[in-house]
Amino acid sequence: MKNDSKPVYVTRSSMPSFEEYADMIHAMWNSRWLTNMGYLHEELTERLKKEFEAEHFLLFSNGHMALELALQSLEMKGEVITTPFTFISTTQAIIRNGLTPVFCDIDPVRLTIDPEKIEDLITEKTCAIVGVHVYGIPCETRIIDSIAAKHGLKVIYDAAHAFRVRYMGKNIANYGDVSMFSFHATKVYHTIEGGGVVCHDPKQYSRLSRLRNFGFFYGGLDGDQLGVNAKMSEFHAAMGLCNLRHIEQEIQKRKEVSEHYDQLLGKAKGLQLFPAIEGLERNYAYYPVIFLDNAPKSRDKACEDLEKEGIIARKYFYPLTSAFSCFKGRSDQGNTPVAEDIANRVLCLPLYAGLSAEDVEWICHIILN
Ligand code: T4K
């Protein structure tokens, strides 16, 4: 039996060697050009444009600002159909733009917004659909994109978890009108703090590039957008450039850990694991497990038992964002029984490149007992 005093967290940031990072920041250190679209920022932008197979890509200080400004750049008013099964950032970005979230239920297998339920929620006030590729599971993009085209709605994907995900032969960034990625330290690919947006309309791209720089073009004199400071610094871009070199190995190691979990948990009755989805190339960002049995609070019991052994699994995403007190009076909680049920049963197990086989076995032993 395992006897290790170190906590095992839900994830652990991937890091280049100290020497590799120091080498990356060396020239910048001497030049004293630390931020404001510096050399490393521009180089990372070019690399990520290739990564996302996109013409229009912008870096941001974090994923939340990327999403909030992406929504602002679409200049919308009214209601946005969205999922409550997400991190609070998604809903906050909608509300902080003066838009009203209308919560749609999720698919019980994919855990993403249920396209069958979207059309019933469309009113004359609906302006957009905000889907979340939760845990790197793609939304049903083809159906959502066609519903949006039929009703003249914008489609925004919160792809915070979906770096390197491909779906139906395309990079996930190339669905919908705009996709936001988080490059936070807890993500598969990170820049410590950071975010990115892929969009397809050059006018929107231009607005967005001003919004992240106080509303004006860098070096310009007039600001025609109500912007903020959401620029990425050179230190963050340097980490991003280093981590990009290692992303293949990072994902491969996460795949191995995930497959080890699958082997040990796959035959257990009462556990729903990551869904098999045709056309999906995964990034192994999260390892969600759904406790299907009827025993009350079996997810909570498993979480407590793991914690007693120093294993910090996380209930991403409980509670639903529609239940957050800061949204009271700003939106209806919606009718989302599937999302509520999943939020009460889901647990994300530790998953990161250096997680040992012994730890995986110990975690599974605790869960299966
Ligand atoms: N949309 C969605 C769907 C999102 O999930 C998120 C963020 C966003 C939008 C907004 O993107 P950002 O603005 O964050 O770029 C974490 C992350 O802070 C957040 O990025 C993420 N989603 C959310 C799901 O999880 P916490 O409060 O659970 O993280 P924390 O600090 O408890 O860290 C979790 C574990 O990660 C720690 O136990 C250990 C490890 N860790 C953490 C940090 C901060 C590291 O190894 N290194 C670190 O530096 O929110």
- Cβ of residue 133 lying under 6 Å from some atom of ligand 1: no
| φ and ψ of 198, to 5 deg | -110, 125
Structural contact between residues 156 and 70, judged by C-beta atoms closer than 8 angstroms: yes
Predicted pLDDT at 252: 98
- Cβ of residue 84 lying under 6 Å from some atom of ligand 1: no
Ligand 1 pocket test: pick from 61, 158, 165, 184 the residue with the most ligand atoms within 8 Å of its Cβ: 184
Q: Quick one: DSSP state of residue 229?
A: B
Ligand 1 pocket test: pick from 186, 236, 250, 352 the residue with the most ligand atoms within 8 Å of its Cβ: 186
CA separation for the pair 51, 162 (Å, rounded): 13
CA separation for the pair 121, 30 (Å, rounded): 56
Ligand 1 centroid from CA 221, angstroms:
36
Q: Quick one: DSSP state of residue 106?
A: B
Q: Could you state, in chain order, the average pLDDT of each consecutive group of 10 residues for the chain (369 residues)?
A: 72 97 97 97 98 97 98 98 98 97 98 98 98 98 97 98 98 98 98 98 96 90 90 98 98 98 94 97 98 85 96 97 91 92 97 97 95
Residue 9: CB partners within 8 Å, gap ≥ 6?
A: 312, 350
CA distances from 154 to 71, 194, 346 (A): 10, 24, 30
- Cβ of residue 91 lying under 6 Å from some atom of ligand 1: no
- Cβ of residue 62 lying under 6 Å from some atom of ligand 1: yes
Residue 358: CB partners within 8 Å, gap ≥ 6?
A: 2
Residue 79: CB partners within 8 Å, gap ≥ 6?
A: 99, 100, 101, 102, 123, 125, 126, 127
Give 149: exposed, middle or buried? Use CB within 10 Å, 0-12, 13-18, 19+.
exposed
- Cβ of residue 316 lying under 6 Å from some atom of ligand 1: yes
Please state whether the peptide bond connecting residue 317 to the residue before it is cis, i.e. omega within 30 degrees of 0.
yes
SS3 195: strand
SS3 129: strand
- Cβ of residue 64 lying under 6 Å from some atom of ligand 1: yes
Reference 294, options 345, 349, 346; nearest CA is 345
Q: What is the residue with the minimal CA distance to atom 30 of ligand 1?
A: 186
- Cβ of residue 217 lying under 6 Å from some atom of ligand 1: no
- Cβ of residue 283 lying under 6 Å from some atom of ligand 1: no
Reference 224, options 64, 65, 63, 73; nearest CA is 73
Predicted pLDDT at 3: 47
Please spell the DSSP secondary structure of 49-94, one letter per residue. Answer: HHHHT-SEEEEESSHHHHHHHHHHHT---SEEEE-SSS-HHHHHHH
CA separation for the pair 289, 347 (Å, rounded): 5
CA separation for the pair 227, 124 (Å, rounded): 29
Structural contact between residues 359 and 313, judged by C-beta atoms closer than 8 angstroms: no
Ligand 1 centroid from CA 193, angstroms:
10
- Cβ of residue 10 lying under 6 Å from some atom of ligand 1: yes
CA separation for the pair 286, 203 (Å, rounded): 35
Report residue 99 as tokens: 């838009």
Ligand 1 centroid from CA 116, angstroms:
30
